[in-house]
């Protein structure tokens, strides 16, 4: 059985409940339990290591930084709590986000009661992320061809503060293009009668017993988290 075999709505509910519980709970034992649960979800998600290697690298740097800051300015207990929280959140997010089919994003939220336009906006976002990445790459290449160097040669504070200005040759063309393209995209959607009435969704979703079980377990987990906070502090 794979994590994708659960209905996407059940997965979203599980994710929201789990991460909320992680944020609510303070007791270290409960946090260890939630971190183990998140880790289990990630193992169950069977995401290839190659795919998440770089994300984990970034996460580890971030976690090390907040742990160090907590150790410096707060207590070792708080530092451990925050580190556990961050590990649990990262594992849960990777397990759910990396196994989510972008084509199912819209229908998932529509069937959770969100309006048509909001749900389709999510689909559009998923559709245009690869286009945006490609536009960035083309612009970086085009500006490199004009002698632009992305790396900061001067690492002084002033230079780092003006970093926004330095990135203008990359950011501006991509943003201007996205804004101009938005008019064409809105036209294309108008021409196909988007937003003129209630729409049918081609995809269908079916909740099965195991999905109901996951949803029930998710709410139980959330309730447990709130109770732990209340009882254990």
Compute the least distance from the CB of residue 153 to other proteins, in Å: 11
**What are the start-end ranges of the H helices in the chain?**
8-24, 28-45, 49-73, 76-97, 105-111, 116-144, 157-161, 163-166, 168-190, 209-232
Site string for other proteins, 83-112 (x = CB under 8 A): -------------------xx---------
Site string for other proteins, 187-206 (x = CB under 8 A): xxxxxxxxxxxxxxxxxx--
Give the 3-state secondary structure of residue 58.
helix
Site membership for other proteins, residue 180 (CB under 8 A): yes
Site membership for other proteins, residue 43 (CB under 8 A): no
Residues 149-168 that bind other proteins (CB under 8 A): 149, 168
27 or 114, CB closer to other proteins? 114
Closest residue by Cα to residue 217 from 11, 61, 67, 25:
11
Give the 3-state secondary structure of residue 6.
coil
Give the 3-state secondary structure of residue 117.
helix
Using CA of residue 122, residue 127, residue 130, residue 135, what is the dihedral sign? negative
Give the interface size with other proteins as a residue count (CB under 8 A).
51
Closest residue by Cα to residue 211 from 16, 7, 13:
7
111 or 127, CB closer to other proteins? 127
Position among 9, 139, 211, 221 found at the interface with other proteins (CB under 8 A): 139
Residues at the contact surface with other proteins, assessed by CB under 8 A: 102-103, 123-124, 126-127, 130-131, 135, 138-139, 141-149, 168-173, 176-177, 180-181, 184-204
């Amino acid at each position: 059985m794979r994590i994708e075999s659960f209905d996407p709505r059940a997965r979203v509910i599980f994710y929201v409940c789990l991460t909320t519980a992680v944020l609510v709970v303070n007791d270290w034992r409960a946090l260890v339990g939630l971190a183990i649960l998140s880790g289990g979800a990630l193992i169950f998600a069977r995401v290839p290591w190659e795919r998440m290697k770089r994300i984990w690298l970034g996460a580890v740097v971030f976690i090390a930084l907040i742990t160090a800051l907590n150790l410096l300015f707060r207590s070792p207990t708080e530092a451990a709590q925050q580190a556990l929280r961050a590990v649990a959140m990262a594992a849960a997010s990777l397990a759910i986000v990396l196994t989510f089919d972008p084509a199912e994003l819209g229908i998932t939220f529509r069937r959770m009661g969100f309006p048509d336009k909001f749900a389709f906006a999510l689909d559009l976002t998923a559709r245009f992320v690869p286009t945006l990445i490609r536009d960035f790459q083309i612009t970086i290449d085009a500006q490199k061809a004009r002698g632009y160097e992305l790396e900061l040669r001067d690492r002084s504070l002033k230079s780092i503060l003006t970093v926004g200005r330095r990135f203008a040759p990359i950011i501006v063309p991509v943003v201007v293009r996205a804004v101009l393209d938005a008019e064409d995209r809105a036209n294309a959607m108008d021409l196909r009668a988007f937003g003129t009435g209630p729409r049918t969704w081609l995809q269908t979703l079916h909740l099965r017993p195991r999905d109901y079980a996951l949803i029930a377990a998710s709410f139980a987990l959330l309730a447990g988290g709130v109770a732990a906070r209340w009882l254990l502090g």
